[in-house]
Amino acid sequence: MLRGLYTAASGMIAQQRRHDVVTNNIANINTPGFKQGNAINRSFPEMLIARTRGGEHDPLSVPIGGIHTGVMAEENVSLHARGDIVETNNPFDFAILSDMEVPGAVFDASGHYVGEDGQRIARPQAFFTVLNAQGEQRYSLNGKFSVNAQGQMIDSEGNPVLGRDGQPIVLLEPGTDLPIVNFRITNTGLFVDADGEPIIGASGEPVNLLLTRIENPNQLVREGNGLYRLNDGGQARPVEAEDRVEVRQGFMERSNVDAAQSMVDMMSALRAYEANQKVIQFYDRSMDKAVNEVGRV
């Protein structure tokens, strides 16, 4: 009897985690560059049920069949399809247009391809590169940047944005401590002044955004505030000219959350949670009768 109770309890936990993922999607529907999460559930390993010692002339064990003892929320997978690109006319807003290819792969709308050998390939993606509070490189698609009083380009959380030299981007008027506010950025991420001349950084090199190519975006781990870190073993490198990546100034990538589908998923998770809850209540009443009524007889 308790097996069914444990199965229903595992279902409630899995649906609660699914509900949490969906509500997080809805909460970030207006967050630039946010990628929708999808909760993946998996059943526990199947068990073989057999009848033993059924009778004097029965074999010792007769297979009955298989049974699953519950379900669990295995992982939260991000959907890395590009969100809508909207114009903001803000010179500090940037969006990445990425159309990377892998030889022999034809990607679907979700950015995946399954080869003839069954191997699943994800489309590589380009990300902005920033430094977190601990000085570690992190990746983001939220291109709402600004320049602080020291001329350093930062994201919405105050994290420095990196250039191709691996150092934080600093935009200062030559020979002054005044930040540059009148600038443009080319499709390749190069910063130029009002006259179209490259802006030179402290290293003596032209200032250029560091765009990082992540070979498999599914190996990225969310850290909050729109930042991702790459799992051990993940492959990343600076974007090159042949990667077919463009930067658009004055544009912003919206989140790719489907609001209508998210509401349906949230209600579905709630209904499944309630169904498992009623099963537990049924088992509770059954055990109450078994202890207080049948046991008394």
pLDDT tens, position by position, 139-165: 999 999 998 888 889 998 899 999 998
pLDDT at 252: 93
| Residue 80, amino acid | H
Phi-psi label, residue 65: left if phi above 0, alpha if psi -120 to 50, beta otherwise: left
pLDDT at 87: 93
Question: Confidence class of residue 1 from pLDDT cuts 50, 70 and 90?
Answer: low
pLDDT at 209: 93
Q: What are phi and psi of 111, to 5 degrees?
A: 85, 30
Strand-pair partners of 214 = 125, 236
* Contact present, 107 and 81 (Cβ < 8 Å): no
Q: How far apart are the C-alpha atoms of 66 and 79, rounded to whole Å?
A: 34
H/E stretch holding 87 reads strand 85-87
As a whole number, the mean pLDDT across the chain is 85
CB atoms within 10 A of CB 4: 15
Question: Confidence class of residue 57 from pLDDT cuts 50, 70 and 90?
Answer: low
Is the model's pLDDT at 231 over the cut of 60? yes
Alpha helices in the chain (DSSP H): 2-27, 259-289
pLDDT at 242: 86
Q: How far apart are the C-alpha atoms of 15 and 23, rounded to whole Å?
A: 12
Q: Which of 52-61, 154-163, 184-193, 260-269 has the lowest mean pLDDT?
A: 52-61
pTM: 0.80
- Predicted confidence (pLDDT) per residue in 33-45, tens digit: 999 988 888 877 7
Is the model's pLDDT at 23 over the cut of 90? yes
pLDDT at 58: 60
